[in-house]
Structure 1
Amino acid sequence: MTPGNANSPDRGEAAPGAATGSGVASDELNALRDDLVAANRILVRQGVLDAFGHVSSRVAPGMDRFLLSGNLAPGSVTASDLLVHDLEATTSAERSLYLERFIHAEIYRRRPDVMAIVHSHSASVIPLGVTSTPLLPIIHMAGFLPTSGTAVFEISDHAGDASDLLITSSSLGASLAEALGDDAVILMRGHGSVAVGASLPEAVYRAVYTEVNARTQLQALALGTPRYLSSGEASTAARSVGGQTARAWNVWREEARPTTAE
């Protein structure tokens, strides 16, 4: 990792309209930085992220660069903390990086359709990744979940039985990305989940409603035998309700806007 400099796109905001090393005009990159800061705040407010977890965004369609914060609690992330990473999960900035940045790099490498990724440890999801009960779509807001059951990544198959459960290498990131396949969400046994989307608002929406669906499923299981969405209902809901992600994003973004005091 080589040191960055004051004019690097990895350090703060460049002058509007200027070219950047990311291959994207600086005003576009700065707008994306603002949205990514908002995404961090939204996910904290929605109980998906806390002091841990992270969210990234590909800098532009078809590009092999993505924005991800340096190693910070999500609620502390500012625009100047967002670093341009490549698909080797490296950046020119001389900063401490997230240990699990390989999750993002390897999914972007294999999924050109993915524009944003959320990795979280949201509480209601964890039980469904450590038991034989699969995460299934039970609410219409979560039609993006597979009706056959959300896949669970078993890290011990790839790292043995003495790992810290973290995705700290390209090889582990590749294994996780392969297990995700073409799905929107994958669980990680004893760890959390990853949600992806074709846009930053969609990835945030899916991360939020994965947690809401999991919580609702656990409540329903306590009462009896749930009736889950059929494959037809899930696919129809994913199209109709999933097309409303901007509605959720806009209200969440406004709620997460920093106050003057901040």
Structure 2
Amino acid sequence: MSNDEQDERDDLNRSVTAQMDEKLETGTWDNRQKLALVCRMLAHEGHSETLAGQVTVRQPDGTFLTTALAIGFDEVTRNNVIRIDDTMRVIEGRGMANPAIRFHLWIYRRRPDVHCIVHTHPPYINALSMTGTPLEVAHMDATPFFDDCAFLREWPGLPIGDSEGEIISAALGTKRTILLANHGFLAATGSLEESAYLAVLIERAARSQLIARSAGEIRRIDDARAKESHDFLLQPSIVKASFALFARRVIRREPEVLF
């Protein structure tokens, strides 16, 4: 691509971005409503068939919003979101925190930029995690994970102790997501919307990768083009508008989620 073509492309990108920032609908829900919406949307996507999986949201005062252990993602409403401190003690709401949240706390300590973590065991991610191979960026829809998805090659055991938290947080490093071998995945980002968006996308990327592998050789996308797409698809306006789309679908099906 010539310099003139690149300049024209960059100008168009800036123009489109400005329009999206101004015109896209992003919703006006509070954090408890958004957390409940995330749980319901992930349940609909197949992320919550058992008690495995957690969503946590860091609050400005250093506490965390999450859901109580044994409340399924498909059952969560705004009113049964709980608030915990950094020792996992419940300070608002009923029930107990999921013990596996301990490894979230390690990530929050290492990454002050992270404000929401989503960790689940959806079926296609589970299947991919059993093959010992990382996520491949071989389709436009997978480009949000280009150079942004770590890979932990060995399962360290149940993530309820400090050693597992140390291993997982170290393997994640500065990336937004990680595929956990023999386990699942997590997204750790600066917003609830972004972690939820990536949670939906990574399961679909794993599904596509497994289907493609059964059909033939997987052909990765050129790095430069993958990077351009990564940056475009992770713009806040696209992330928030995508979250709002998923949220509206939940509300149409399950309006009680907001109360």
What is the TM-score normalised by the length of structure 1?
0.77
Q: Which amino acid aligns with 2:228?
A: T
Structure (1/2) with the larger helix percentage: 2
What letter is aligned with 2:50? Answer: A
Counterpart-to-counterpart distance in 1, 2:73 and 2:222 = 35
Cα distance change, pair 37–141 in 1 and its aligned pair in 2 (3 A): same
Match of 1:230 among 209, 213, 222: 222
Are residue 122 (structure 1) and residue 122 (structure 2) matched? yes
**What is the aligned residue count?**
223
The CA deviation at 1:148 is: 9.0
For 1:149-160, list aligned pairs within 5 A.
150-152=150-152, 154-156=154-156
Letter aligned with residue 68 of structure 2: G
Q: For 1:106 and 1:152, locate their aligned partners in 2 and report how far apart those are by CA, in whole Å.
A: 16
Q: Match for 1:249 among 243, 248, 252?
A: 243
Is 1:177 matched with 2:172?
no
Q: CA deviation at 1:254?
A: 0.7
1:205–1:248: 8 Å Cα contact kept in structure 2? Answer: yes
The CA RMSD over aligned residues, in Å, is 2.4
Q: Is the aligned partner of 1:69 residue 2:63?
A: no
Could you tell me which runs of 5 or more consecutive residues in structure 2 were left unpaired when the two chains were aligned.
1-28
- Sort the Cα spacing of 1:155 and 1:89 in 2 relative to 1 into closer, same or farther, 3 A: farther
1:245 counterpart letter in structure 2: V
Pair 1:221 & 2:219 matched: no
Q: Partner residue of 2:19?
A: none
Moved more, 127-136 or 217-226: 127-136
User: Gapped runs of 5+ residues in structure 1?
Assistant: 1-29, 157-164
* 3-state SS, counterpart of residue 83 of structure 1: strand
Aligned runs of 1:19-30 on 2, under 5 Å?
none
Measured after TM superposition, the shift of residue 177 of structure 1 is 0.8
CA offsets 1:9-47 (integer angstroms, 9 cap, x no match): xxxxxxxxxxxxxxxxxxxxx921111111111111122
Provide closer, same or farther for how the CA distance between residues 174 and 35 of structure 1 changes in structure 2, counting only shifts above 3 A.
same
In structure 2, relative to structure 1, the CA distance for the partners of 1:212 and 1:144 (3 Å cut) is same
* TM-score between the two structures when normalised by the length of structure 2: 0.78
Q: By how many angstroms is 1:140 displaced?
A: 1.9
How many angstroms does 1:172 deviate by? Answer: 1.8
> What is the aligned partner in structure 2 of residue 196 from structure 1?
188
3-state SS in 2 of match to 1:114: coil
